[in-house]
Structures are given as structure tokens and as C-alpha cells.
Amino acid sequence: MAAQVNDGTDREASAPPVIVLVETQMGENIGAAARAMANFGLKDLRLVKPRDGWPNDKARAAASRGDAIIDEVRLFDTLEAAIADLELVYATTARPHDIAKEVESPAVAAVEMAAAARAGARTGVVFGREKWGLTSDEVGLCDRICTVPVDPAFASLNVGQAVILVAYEWRRLVLGDAAWTPFVEKERSPQASKGDVFAFFAHLESALDKVEFFRPAHKRDHMIRNLRQIFQKARLSEQEVRTLRGMVAALEGRPTRLDLARFQEMRDAAERERGVRNRDEE
Amino acid sequence: MAAQVNDGTDREASAPPVIVLVETQMGENIGAAARAMANFGLKDLRLVKPRDGWPNDKARAAASRGDAIIDEVRLFDTLEAAIADLELVYATTARPHDIAKEVESPAVAAVEMAAAARAGARTGVVFGREKWGLTSDEVGLCDRICTVPVDPAFASLNVGQAVILVAYEWRRLVLGDAAWTPFVEKERSPQASKGDVFAFFAHLESALDKVEFFRPAHKRDHMIRNLRQIFQKARLSEQEVRTLRGMVAALEGRPTRLDLARFQEMRDAAERERGVRNRDEE
């Protein structure tokens, strides 16, 4: 068989893992899992014998905007049946089982599931009961073990918390950029260029020279470096540089842009007024 | 001031961020936050005017093994007071606020907080109310915005889910190894060397040659490559190689190790028996 060429175009299309919850006791946890899945792009939720039956109002309430996932939940009598159509399946466990299987973090599992999905495989992650997790027989049905890198002294995540971390790692991987955010800084004017910032420094320093701020004289260079550092750290926008220059002009007693604009407005108003009066007099 | 030298020895000692929950309505969410913190090495939980007062039984119940964090919770009347002793503070928001602040993912915030902590700064992350988050004034008190990389179409995490992701990214960074797991494969015998595996192949293939498995002859090489691939993929342990060789020997009708061990046992038992009889006869 020839190896297939991967040109990277299928990256976004990789099918996300199926989430399988075995004998979950609390509907709230099923809902929390659905909510986590919806936020991170997972879709297929399967339940093996949920304690309180199905449908479950508490699950729907806790799912929040994940109700599309709740609508499509599939029920199974056994874990075998729930994962029969998958090719690579992870059992999540918080403690070692007496079974020789590779143990992987959610980050590594996400990488492997994405690679498998890109090659056409369907993947899944299985989560056990709130009180005691998965049986060794259930773990034995899976290919590998996935476990969250908790502090061993406190290992105690609930099933909703474990699902969100697995789903989050999937999305982190699919995004391919740990710095990605769903929105960016609001209405920020463009970053000021270094030239704009240097012109502001010249303005500020000349204003401060006039009021003999830099004393004693031999400390002038040092003081200027410290002042400049304050504004460099702020990574000013163009608008912020204009604001600061207006502020310095105001403190200097020079007319500000606002003063000039108001003056212009007053003059315009006066001229209009004069125009109106002239028309009245005609 | 001379720049400080960082020799890497303080890595583990970096103080984790403080978690601040503002006017949280449900005790369960405070408890879930404490539970998440305990699992990922965070310790300092502060509450600004929790709706149902403090202490709160539901918070303690939901904290599970995070009760040490619940015991040390500090209460504040205002966000200003809660973060007054910190130097770098992130506001978590799910939507843009009308405010020009850098927006960062939990992964980037964790990197920055660790860098700040290494330089001696105390850091914190602030989480808002379940229904409507933080006010713009509250966001304004913080240095930067942190937001989780959710699917924008479904952005809807609860406060407990947001806390666990921030705490998880902190631990992921402190561990410095995305593949770290709190336990490893259980009682696995050492990985078999390639030599062990090749010896097993030779054994298997000679047994299959004897029963004329490789037919037609011109497909022999291809069939052998496929068979070998099955066992290479399994990444066999030494014990697994022994098990497979015993299995092949049994199928061949050769005496297995177990047969030999049983034979030895039977012979030993017979000899003991004879010895006892000899003594009886003396």
C-alpha cells in the first residue's frame, strides 16, 4: 500500500473524539460534559446505563447551550456496544489499574487522536462512574489510558471536570495556537510607532525642562530614562499618545487640541449667528 | 539596578496565582473552584461578597478533597480590597468589554504569571458572577483580560469550568512537560529488545513453515512482513514475548515451559513421596 500524502488541508476536518460516560450517576455531570463539549467543538456524546435513565431534566439544565448535544445523545447497554464503531479508544482513570496499557496525558492523547482521525479513524474517550470510575474489565476494552496531570496528593476530579480538560486539549490542538482567543482587544487604536513615542518624549521632556523638573542636573539622564521606561512599558496606542500630548500641553498652559476645537466651534457659532442676523436685517 | 540572574532553581517555587471569585451565587461553584485548585497546585482562594454568605456547606461538599482551600478562604467586601496586595491581575471575561486591554488565552496568561512570579510578583485571576460576569469597572481594575479559547458560537462556560482551565494551564506550565502523568503503566515488564522480538519471529515463522502456512510460496515474504507488523505494532514487553513463544510452542505440540514446570513438580513430588516411604520403612 502506498502511504497517503497529507497536504494539511484536512486539518480542520479531523473528526473530534466521541465522549462515552459509563453509568454516570448525576444528570448534572452529564449536562456539564455536554456543555464542555459544545464549547470545544466535540459533538458525539454516548451514555452507558445512566443511573437516572434518559432523558434527564437535570442534564438538560446543566448543559446550558450544549442542548444540541443532549438532543443527539445515544444510549447503550454496554461499553462494548458504545465503542464498537470506534478504532482508537482511551479509558480515563485517576489511578493505575492492574493492566499493562500505555498511560497518557490529555495533551498527548489529543495529538494521537488527531493523527488517527486524520488517517480516517474514529476515536473516543471513556469516563467512569463518579464514585469508583471504570472496572478493570472496562479499561481492558480500551486501547490506552488517559489521565489528567493532577497533583497526586489531591487526585480528585469529578467526571465533568475530566471531560472539560480532555475537550479543551482537543480544541487547543485543533487551533494549533495556544495564544488563540475568541475575541481580541476592543477598539484599540493602532499601536503607536516608536517615532510617535519619541516625539511625545521630546514634548514631555521640553515641558519638564521649562519648569526645571530635572534637578539636580547630573541626575537628568537617569530621570529621563526612568520616565521613558514608564511609557514604554505601557505600549501606547496612537490615541493614547495624542491623549498624553494633550495632557502635557494642558499642564503647560498651552492651548490643547480640545481648546482649539472649542475655539473653532465658538467662532463658527458666532459667524452663523452673525449670518442669521444679517439675513434677518435684509 | 543589576538584572537578576535566574539559574532555574526557583522554578518549582514560583507562587501560583490567587483565585478571586466575585459575587458568586452558587456554593457548588465555589466548591468546584476549590477542588480544581487543589488538583492543580493552587492554594489561595478569595471571595468578594458571595451571595449566600460564608461559610457555605454546599461549597465545602463540592470541594471534595479541596477542603484545606475552603478552610483558608478569605472574604472581601470589594474587588479592590481583594486584589490590593497583588501585582499582576487578570480579569476573565467571555465577551469583549469596551476597554482597551490585552486579551490573552489561559496558556499565555500562565506563562506571564509564572514569569512575574519568578521575579517576585504576586499574581491573580478574577472570575465574575454566574449570570453576567464582571462589570466594566471591575475589569478596569485588572491589568489584562484572560479568556478561554471556546468556540465563539457556544461560548458558555460556568465559573467552575473557567477556574479549572486556568488552574490546569498553570500546572501544565509548572510541570513543563505536556506528557507528564501522575502514574505510569502498571507493572509492565521491560520492553522487549528488537533481538528478543526477532528471535520470536524466527520461532513463529519456522513453526508456520512446518505446517506450510505460507502458501503460495511467492507470497511468503509479503505474508511474513504483514505478520511481523502485527507484533511490531504491539510494542511487546519481554514477558509478552515469552507468552507468545509459549503459545506458539503449545500450538506446535511442543512441551511448553509450563508443561516442563509441571513435569518437574510432579517428579519432585514423586521423589518426596518415595523419600517419605523410605523413611517410614526404616
SS3 A112: helix
- Yes or no, beta carbons of A66 and B172 under 8 Å apart: no
pLDDT at A187: 62
Considering only CA atoms, give the Rg of chain A: 32
**How many Cβ atoms are within 10 Å of B265's Cβ, its own excluded?**
10
Averaged pLDDT, B94-116: 90
SS3 B70: helix
- Yes or no, beta carbons of A104 and B181 under 8 Å apart: yes
- Yes or no, beta carbons of B147 and A98 under 8 Å apart: no
Q: Is A184 on the interface with B (CB under 8 A)?
A: yes
pLDDT band at B5 (very low <50, low <70, confident <90, very high): low
The alpha carbon of residue A270 is apart from the nearest alpha carbon of chain B, in Å, by 37
Contact B59, B30 (CB under 8 A): yes
For residue B126, what are the contacts with CB-CB under 8 A and spacing of at least 6?
B20, B22, B79, B82, B83, B89, B90, B91, B92, B134, B138, B142
**Burial class of residue B106, CB neighbours in 10 A (0-12, 13-18, 19+):** buried
Distance separating the N- and C-terminal Cα atoms of chain B: 98
CA distance B96 to B110: 20
Closest CB to A164 among B100, B101, B161: B161
Peptide bond into B190 cis (omega under 30): no
pLDDT at B1: 40
pLDDT at A189: 76
Q: Which residues of A touch B104 (CB under 8 A)?
A: 179, 181
Mutate to test the interface with B, among A95, A164, A175 (most CBs of B within 10 A): A164
**Burial class of residue A224, CB neighbours in 10 A (0-12, 13-18, 19+):** middle
Least confident segment among A186-195, B71-80, B201-210, B229-238: A186-195
- Yes or no, beta carbons of B161 and A237 under 8 Å apart: no
For residue B188, what are the contacts with CB-CB under 8 A and spacing of at least 6?
A100, B237
**How many Cβ atoms are within 10 Å of B91's Cβ, its own excluded?**
30
Q: Which residues of A touch B222 (CB under 8 A)?
A: none
Report how far apart, in Å, the C-alpha atoms of A220 and of each of A194, A209, A225, A231, A249 are: 22, 10, 9, 17, 21
Look at residues B124, B129, B134, B171 and name the one whose alpha carbon lies nearest to residue B19.
B124
Average pLDDT, chain B: 88
CA distance B175 to B179: 9
What type of residue sits at position B68? Answer: A
CA distance B33 to B27: 10
pLDDT at A38: 95
Which DSSP letter does residue B154 get?
G
pLDDT at B43: 95
Report how far apart, in Å, the C-alpha atoms of B200 and of each of A111, A152, A162 are: 32, 39, 41
Residue appearing with cell numbers 484572560? B146
Segment B145-171, tens digit of pLDDT:
999 999 988 878 999 999 999 999 999
Structure ipTM: 0.79
SS3 B149: coil
Q: What structural domains and CATH numbers belong to chain B?
A: 18-175 (3.40.1280.10), 194-268 (1.10.8)
Pairing of strands B123-127, B88-92: parallel
Q: Take residue B197 and report the three cell numbers written for it.
A: 522480538
- Yes or no, beta carbons of B147 and A183 under 8 Å apart: yes
At residue B8, does pLDDT exceed 80?
A: no
Considering only CA atoms, give the Rg of chain B: 32
Distance separating the N- and C-terminal Cα atoms of chain A: 98
> Along chain A (282 residues), what's the average pLDDT of each consecutive run of 10 residues?
48 81 96 96 97 96 92 97 96 85 94 93 96 94 95 86 96 92 78 93 92 90 92 89 89 72 83 74 57
Q: What is the 3-state secondary structure (H, E, C) of B202-266?
A: HHHHHHHHHCCCCCCHHHHHHHHHHHHHHHHHCCCEHHHHHHHHHHHHHHHCCCCHHHHHHHHHH
pLDDT at B51: 96
At residue B267, does pLDDT exceed 70?
A: yes
DSSP class per residue in A183-246: S--TTPPPBPPHHHHHHHHHHHHHHHHHTT-S-SGGGHHHHHHHHHHHHHHTT-BHHHHHHHHH
Q: Which residue has the higher pLDDT, B105 or B282?
A: B105
Q: What is the 3-state secondary structure (H, E, C) of A38-90?
A: HHCCCCCEEEECCCCCCCCHHHHHHHHHHHHHHHCCEEECCHHHHCCCCCEEE
Q: Is A188 on the interface with B (CB under 8 A)?
A: yes
